[in-house]
Chain A
Amino acid sequence: MATTYGATSSAPKRTMSSTSSVATGIARTKILLLGQRRSGKTSINEVLFNALPPKQTFYLETTMRIVKHTYDTVIPLEIWDCPGNITVDTLGAPLSQFSALIFVIDIRDLYKQPISKLVEFIVAAYHDNPQIHVEIFVHKAEKLQEDDKIENFRQIQERVQDHLMERECEQMPYNFHLTSVYDHSLHEAFSKVLHKLIHSLPFLEDLLNVFCANSQSPKAFLFDAASRLYVATDASPVDSATHNLCCDYLSMLNAFGPLYRSPTSSATRLRIPAAEPSPDNPTPAETKDRFYPSAAASLHPSAPGTTLTYHSITPHLALLALVPTGVYEGRRGLLEYNVVFFREGVQEICAVEHEARGGSG
């Protein structure tokens, strides 16, 4: 653990180099959301960061001008939701400012126009900022049947490659993701984009690896609780089904909270009210955390079952882990001891990150 803490000190230098203009407050990592009109850019943003039910995206208004959404998670994000007719020239900001470019393309748009526009942006982006991550979301996957879906996805990839070949830019790195707001594919794809933007990711992953190894956990995720994007996971491969289950579990817990909220007792629940200040400590006693929110769902009634644990780590982040039920029930104290260490590590990383970005306090 000590070596991990030491290693975090290298993080600020890396993040500082990527901050361009610290005008006000903290430097945010910027993500550009591009795509044709009605390709689903605003839907993606609303479903992920404003908890809009997917069925309601139908009623969203067309975006007429660039809207900048800020979102705070392990790193502060600024997402630029652009109208469909935007070009490199009308963007009003150099592409070098952005850490990632997400191009959203409707899976049914096999035609020339959206693809050539996409290629235009890719080429311009690499010209201005070779470090930029280009991610292509082939979106609205739910609109097509399984076979057509794969076929269209393949064709769009092929056409983009052909266009880039013509421009002699085929060696540029970019990634394709098949997404839909109606299932977990959007969360998974956006999580993968997010991972590339988190400079402290290796340290978070190390902490998770240590946690898993010491808790007999086959899989653990560090989630951003509100958006249900996973910020980091341990080294074992991510199995979609497990990811989806954790995602659903988190959404259930998020929904449960407000259901039985009592207006009277909430205030004193989380914090022990400040006791009488001790004589040897003249400063006003800080209120102490009574507990960190946590939850556990046990699956399979029989003995070798799995328990899905949830532990709040920071106000934004939560640790979700699969733990054998035997371990959870028999050695819960040790498990929670591990969580405390994990929490301290993550909080330290977040503090360093916050400081490096010029946040106060």
Chain B
Amino acid sequence: MKKKVLLMGASGSGKTSMRSLIFSNNPASLTSRLGATIDVEQNHVRFLGDLILNLWDCGGQDAFMDSYLTTQRSTIFQHVGVLIYVFDVETAEMHKDLEYYRDCLDGLRQFSPEAAVFLLVHKMDLVRDRGAMFERKKKELMEHSEKGQGPVLTSITVFGTSIYDESLYRAWSSIVHTLIPNAAVLSKHLTIFAEACSATEVVLFERTTFLVIATSAAPPAAALEATRYERTSELIKAFKHSCSRVREEFHALEMELPEFSAVLDEMTKNTYVLIIVHDPTIETAALKLNIRMARRKFEVLQGLA
């Protein structure tokens, strides 16, 4: 199954930077080397076994935007699964951004009214009072989203993001979650798996991006850190990058820390699983054995076997 993902927004708002961070494992410090995107850069990302993300990174200069909205209108806005619209939080031309955004929404209403829309208020690291700024921007964006004519778009979600912290992973995990067809089934089986391991929680990650695909049902005493999934994605990605610098490849991790025990290992050829256990009597070797036993089942669930 192919899903088309449109990545749009003003020139210099950070579209290509976030793409390179999420999909190419480049560190945030190197994004300044990226050049402007000319026209549309198409990428195919094989995500899970049968899900291919067809990522359209649309250059944001005015001339390109005008042509997307006129001559290329049907090509761009047809068969869209997700539209991701990026706003630079510190932009000087918010009016123009909003105008283009409204036009893009109109295009989407015309050709893909079913598409999910994600609005990313990006470069949040540049503002000091993030909470207040985000609320203000969110309100402004939601108001503008309702202004167009035609059918109401099903879902519009706003995220505040920055490439320098975990917020970007939070937004993207939630984006891909809407695209995965069998997320609920995976979740159900992860819960069973968690029970078999006496685990507090089990999290399934996509292999290359380390975005969260599914998790087991929330642990009963759900007092764990709220940002833990995206922080985990960020930490593992950073460590994978450190490994690649010494020409090594990260493979698996096991931990017995004062706070918890955990195993992070390959589940199927395109997913990684993280098992978190708080019971001190559970050995990590037993968790690894369980992963090996569950592998076959999860391959079937993903349609790989």
A324 and B242 CA atoms in complex are apart in Å by 19
B255 touches A299 (CB 8 A): no
Chain A residues with CB under 8 Å of B243's CB are 245, 299
B153-166 interface code vs A (CB 8 A; 1 in, 0 out): 00000000000100
B143 within 8 A of A: no
Query: Does chain A have a CB within 8 A of B228?
Result: yes
State whether A261 and B260 are in contact (beta carbons under 8 Å apart), knowing that A55-B164, A241-B246, A305-B251 are contacts in the complex: yes
Question: Within the assembled complex, what's the spacing in Å between the Cα atoms of A264 and B248?
Answer: 38
B247 — nearest CB in chain A belongs to which residue? A241
Type the 1/0 row for B112-135, where 1 means its CB is closer than 8 Å to any CB of A: 000000000000010000000000
B246 near A242: Cβ-Cβ < 8 Å: yes
Which of B48-56, B187-195, B217-225 interfaces with chain A? B217-225
- Name, among B249, B250, B258, the residue most crowded by chain A CB atoms within 10 Å (CB to CB): B258
Nearest B-chain residue to A268, judged by Cβ: B280
Whether B246 contacts A291 by the Cβ 8 Å rule is no
Distance A346 CA – B256 CA, assembled complex (angstroms):
21
Question: Which residues on the B side are within 8 Å of A298 (C-beta)?
Answer: 251-253
Q: How far is the CB of B268 from chain A (nearest CB, A)?
A: 14
Question: In the complex, what residue of chain A is closest to B241 when comparing beta carbons?
Answer: A248
User: What's the count of A-B pairs with C-beta under 8 Å?
Assistant: 117
B interface, by DSSP: helix, strand, loop or mixed?
mixed
- Whole-angstrom distance between the Cβ of B298 and the nearest chain A Cβ: 18
Looking at the complex, which of B2-10, B76-84, B232-240 is the stretch in contact with chain A? B232-240
Interface bits A242-276 vs B (CB < 8 Å: 1, else 0): 10110011001101111111111110111000000
| CB atoms of B252 and A261 under 8 A apart | no
CB pair A306–B248 under 8 Å, yes or no, is yes
Nearest CB on A from B70, distance (A): 42
The answer to whether A244 and B200 touch across the interface, beta carbons within 8 angstroms, is no
Q: Please measure, in the bound complex, the distance between the C-alpha atom of A31 and the C-alpha atom of B168, giving whole angstroms.
A: 40
Instruction: Answer whether A258 and B259 are a contact pair too, CB < 8 Å, given A291-B280, A300-B248, A301-B249.
Output: yes
Please report the C-alpha to C-alpha distance between residue A256 and residue B257 in the assembled complex, in whole angstroms: 9
The winner among A241, A260, A293 for most chain B CB atoms within 10 A is: A260
Q: Is residue B136 contacting chain A, with contact meaning CB distance below 8 A? A: no
Partner among A259, A261, A291, A306 whose Cβ is within 8 Å of the Cβ of B256: A291
Residues of the A chain whose Cβ atoms lie less than 8 Å from the Cβ of B248: 245, 299-300, 306
Contact partner, B251, options A260, A295, A301, Cβ 8 Å: A301
Cβ contact of B257, chosen from A245, A268, A293, cutoff 8 A: A293
Closest partner residue, chain A, to B264 (CB atom)? A297
Q: Answer whether residue A14 sits at the interface, using C-beta atoms and an 8 A cutoff.
A: no
Contacting residues, chain B, for A244 (C-beta < 8 A): 242, 245-246
Q: How far is the CA of A301 from the CA of B272 in the complex (A)?
A: 13
How many A residues face the partner with a CB closer than 8 A?
38
Q: Is B254 an interface residue (CB 8 A)?
A: yes
Instruction: Select B232's contact among A249, A259, A290, A299, beta carbons within 8 Å.
Output: A259
Q: Which residues of B contact A263 (CB under 8 A)?
A: 221, 223
- Whether, in the assembled complex, B276 has its beta carbon less than 8 Å from a beta carbon of chain A, the answer is yes
Is the interface on chain B under 10, 10 to 19, 20 to 34, or 35 or more residues? Answer: 35 or more
A37 CB, nearest partner CB in chain B, Å: 24
- One digit per residue, 1 when the CB lies within 8 angstroms of any chain B CB and 0 when it does not, for chain A 276-310 equals 00000000000000110111111111000110000
Task: Say how far A146's CB is from chain B's closest CB, in angstroms.
Answer: 14
Residues of A42-72 whose CB lies within 8 A of B: 55
Q: A55-B164, A261-B225, A300-B251 are in contact. Are A266 and B256 (CB under 8 A)?
A: no
When the two chains form the complex, which single residue of A245, A261, A264, A305 contacts B246, counting CB atoms closer than 8 Å? A245
Q: Are A262 and B246 CB-contacts (below 8 A) given A269-B278, A293-B258? A: no
A294 to B283 alpha-carbon distance, docked (Å):
12
Contact, CB under 8 Å: A260 / B201: yes
Closest CB-CB distance, B258 to chain A, in whole Å? Answer: 5
**Hey, which chain B residues are within 8 Å of A55, CB to CB?**
125, 164
Contact B242 A260 (CB under 8 A): no
Q: Would you call A262 and B278 a contact (CB within 8 A)? A: yes
Chain B residues lying within 8 Å of A261, measured Cβ to Cβ, are 224-225, 259-260
A252-B235, A260-B276, A306-B248 known; A295 vs B258 contact (CB < 8 Å)? no
Tell me the minimal C-beta distance from A206 to chain B in angstroms: 27
Q: Chain A residues with Cβ under 8 A from B239's Cβ?
A: 248-249, 252, 297
CB pair A297 B253 closer than 8 Å: yes
Tell me if B258 and A299 are in contact (CB < 8 A): no
**Once the chains bind, are A297 and B223 in contact (CB under 8 Å)?**
no
**B262 interface residue (CB < 8 Å to A):** yes
Binary interface encoding of chain B residues 192-233 relative to chain A, with 1 for a CB under 8 A from any of its CBs, else 0: 000000001100000000000000000001011100100110
Residue of B nearest to A315 (CB): B258
Which 7 residue pairs of A and B lie closest in terms of their CB atoms, listed nearest first?
A248-B242, A299-B248, A295-B255, A265-B278, A261-B259, A241-B246, A259-B228
With A260-B259, A269-B258, A293-B257 given, name 10 new contacts (CB 8 A): A55-B164, A244-B245, A245-B248, A257-B258, A260-B200, A297-B239, A297-B250, A297-B252, A300-B249, A301-B266
Could you show 27 A-B contacts with beta carbons less than 8 Å apart? A182-B29, A242-B246, A248-B242, A252-B235, A256-B235, A256-B262, A257-B259, A258-B225, A259-B225, A259-B231, A260-B200, A260-B224, A260-B260, A260-B262, A260-B276, A261-B260, A264-B221, A266-B258, A269-B259, A269-B280, A270-B258, A270-B280, A293-B258, A294-B255, A297-B250, A297-B251, A297-B253
Q: Which residues of B contact A (CB under 8 A)?
A: 29, 125, 164, 200-201, 221, 223-225, 228, 231-232, 235-236, 238-239, 242-243, 245-246, 248-260, 262, 266, 276, 278-280
